[in-house]
Amino acid sequence: MNIFRFSGDMTHLISILVLLLKIYATKSCSGISLKTQELYALVFLTRYLNLFTEFFSVYNTVMKLVFIGSSLVIVWYMRMHRVVKLSYDKELDTFRHYFLVVASFVLALLVHEKFTFQEIFWAFSIYLEAIAILPQLVLLQRSGNVDNLTGQYVFFLGSYRAFYILNWIYRYFTENHFARLISCISGLVQTALYADFFYYYFISWKNNKKLQLPA
């Protein structure tokens, strides 16, 4: 495992820990899109269908369990916790996320590498992950002001995919390894969606001001 792959995994893990810290410490999920969290839970559940049928390494298995478990815990907190759920911005989180699910599944049926149950759902998870952040970005844009922990969560989440792109480039030149085309295109789309957020995040960091997104 190279430094870019490891950094990608760690920034992804940090983003989840930051989000859990925000919810647990403040007993609030204000500024967080439940719809994006539900999409990520669906992404992990469908991507790791091979969790108990194929073994790659202890590290790989542990990370899969962490991503599945943490995504389900976050959704549970936002939906079921008697205090946290009261802070959910339901009026702002109105993105019709089921359209993203349907579009990703149709695309997976049309564009895949092998027409098998596991491969279709793997492709579905890749396509869905690329656009799962959209409800979150829309919610932040509508709310305008972004609290520090929410901003850090989105920043680390976007950084994770950027590191994975560097990992693909590194492996291509050092190992002559070609990443799967579906992953490459989806990863580029996913990273591009964060471009506007990254710009305003760095501007606010440079000027030591609270992050604000234009409406």
pLDDT per position as a tens digit, 136-191: 999 988 887 688 888 899 999 999 988 999 988 888 888 877 777 888 889 889 98
Residue with the larger pLDDT of the pair 207 and 135: 135
pTM for this one?
0.91
**Mean pLDDT for all residues in the chain:** 90
* 3-state class (DSSP) for residue 212: strand
Is residue 205 over pLDDT 80?
A: no
Euclidean distance between CA atoms 102 and 24, whole angstroms: 32
pLDDT (0 to 100) of residue 77:
94
Is residue 193 over pLDDT 70?
A: yes
Domain ranges of the chain: 3-206
pLDDT (0 to 100) of residue 131:
96
Is residue 119 over pLDDT 90?
A: yes
Is residue 209 over pLDDT 80?
A: no
* 3-state class (DSSP) for residue 142: helix
Residue 45 near residue 68 (C-beta atoms within 8 A) = yes
Residue 19 near residue 32 (C-beta atoms within 8 A) = yes
Sign of CA dihedral 108, 176, 62, 27: negative
Q: Is 56 exposed, middle or buried (0-12, 13-18, 19+ CB in 10 A)?
A: exposed
Digit-coded pLDDT (tens) for 75-94? 999 999 999 999 999 999 99
pLDDT (0 to 100) of residue 212:
67
* Tokens read off for 27: 């007993």
H/E run at residue 11:
helix 3-26
Give the chain's length.
215
Is residue 19 over pLDDT 80?
A: yes
Place of tokens 């990703």: 104
Euclidean distance between CA atoms 28 and 213, whole angstroms: 21
From the list 117, 114, 97, 3, the residue with the least C-alpha distance to 50 is 117
212 - beta bridge partners?
Answer: 145
Provide the percentage of residues in the chain whose pLDDT is more than 70. 95
pLDDT (0 to 100) of residue 180:
79
145 - beta bridge partners?
Answer: 212
